[in-house]
């Protein structure tokens, strides 16, 4: 299994300089990745009043590290323009020399970050936008001429170059909830990995049954789970998990988290 830090870019971690210092500590400590929450507002809690843009932070991390895999986890694709996301992701893939993994999902309205900006809050309505956006995004990554006329997006006679460094595409990990609807799991099965949100190991197993049925096997497929500090990692690995995410408590001082990160994924907890 590989090990990554899972960072909410709030509070002290809304400071790009602090996030760059953390990334350097993670890389020096032998971690495999750093993934950032993608939010624009959070519930009104004093410690989360400061919020940074994850894409700018990821660009800073890409320029100051050489090995860490990085990406947003997850981007609610339904509230983004696919053409803008295509340009951002390919540019970041080039900047990082092929280290981007793009986490995508439906998103939630926590903090009102959908409804307060007039975005659809109905899951089915957003799912239709999300599905079409995924199709168009991958077409734009291809480097071929794209002619797309859908219910939600249009791209007429456009060719996006350069193509991503990573081929056949930038890896896509799809979010889904344990015990929830099967459609997000089936959607993730068509991508390169599954990120079960708020899911226990026992809930993961039926999700992977769905993925295996859709794909034919789990060979080469990533299964990414957030695990608490006291988790039995052997149990996660036996269940098929390939990446362990370690959450970072954004109410803890940045200095403490950076010091813990430098001691590696088997050192003191980040939260």
Give domain status of residue 271, yes or no: no
Residue 268 lies in a domain: no
pLDDT on residue 249: 83
Q: Would residue 97 count as lying in a domain?
A: yes
pLDDT at 117 over 70: yes
Confidence at residue 178, expressed as pLDDT on a 0 to 100 scale: 85
Cβ–Cβ < 8 Å for 226, 200: no
Whole-model pTM: value is: 0.96
Interval 221-244 mean pLDDT:
96
pLDDT of 47 > 70? The answer is: no
Residue 222 lies in a domain: yes
Q: Which pLDDT belongs to residue 110?
A: 85
Residue 111, pLDDT score: 83
Query: Closest Cα partner for 76 from 49, 110, 99?
Result: 110
Does the pLDDT at position 121 exceed 80?
yes
Q: Is residue 85 part of a domain?
A: yes
CATH number at residue 175: 3.20.20.30
Provide the mean pLDDT of the chain.
95
Count the domains in the chain. 1
Mean of pLDDT values over 158-185: 94
**pLDDT for residue 128 is more than 80:** yes
Any domain includes 132: yes
Give residue-wise pLDDT tens across range 6-41: 999 999 999 999 999 999 999 999 999 999 999 998
Which residue range is the domain that position 229 belongs to?
A: 2-261
266, part of any domain: no
The packing angle between helices 16-28 and 254-261, to 10°, is 20
In a domain, 150, yes or no: yes
What whole-number distance in Å separates Cα of residue 271 and Cα of residue 256?
10
Residue range 232-241: mean pLDDT, rounded:
96
- β-partners of residue 148 are 155
């Amino acid at each position: 299994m590989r090990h990554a830090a899972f960072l909410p870019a709030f509070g002290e971690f809304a400071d790009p300089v602090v996030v760059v210092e953390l990334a350097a500590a993670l890389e020096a400590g032998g971690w495999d990745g750093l993934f950032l929450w993608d939010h624009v507002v959070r519930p009104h809690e004093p410690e989360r009043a400061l919020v940074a843009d994850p894409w700018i932070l990821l660009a800073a991390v890409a320029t100051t590290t050489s090995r860490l895999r990085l990406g947003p986890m997850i981007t609610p694709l339904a509230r983004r323009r696919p053409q803008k996301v295509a340009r951002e992701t390919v540019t970041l893939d080039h900047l990082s020399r092929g280290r981007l993994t793009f986490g995508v999902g439906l998103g939630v309205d926590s903090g009102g970050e959908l409804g307060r900006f007039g975005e659809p809050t109905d899951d089915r309505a957003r799912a239709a936008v999300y599905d079409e956006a995924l199709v168009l995004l991958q077409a734009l990554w291809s480097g071929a001429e794209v002619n797309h006329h859908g219910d939600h997006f249009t791209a007429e006679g456009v060719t996006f170059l350069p193509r991503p460094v990573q081929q056949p595409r930038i890896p896509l990990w799809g979010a889904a909830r344990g015990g929830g609807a099967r459609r997000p799991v089936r959607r993730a099965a068509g991508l390169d990995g599954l990120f079960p949100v708020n899911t226990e190991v026992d809930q993961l197993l039926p999700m992977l049954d769905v993925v295996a049925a859709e794909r034919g096997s789990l060979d080469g497929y990533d299964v990414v789970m957030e695990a608490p500090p006291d988790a039995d990692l052997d149990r996660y690995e036996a269940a098929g998990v390939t990446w362990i995410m370690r959450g970072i408590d954004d109410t803890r001082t940045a200095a403490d988290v950076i010091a813990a990160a430098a001691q590696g994924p088997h050192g003191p907890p980040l939260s």
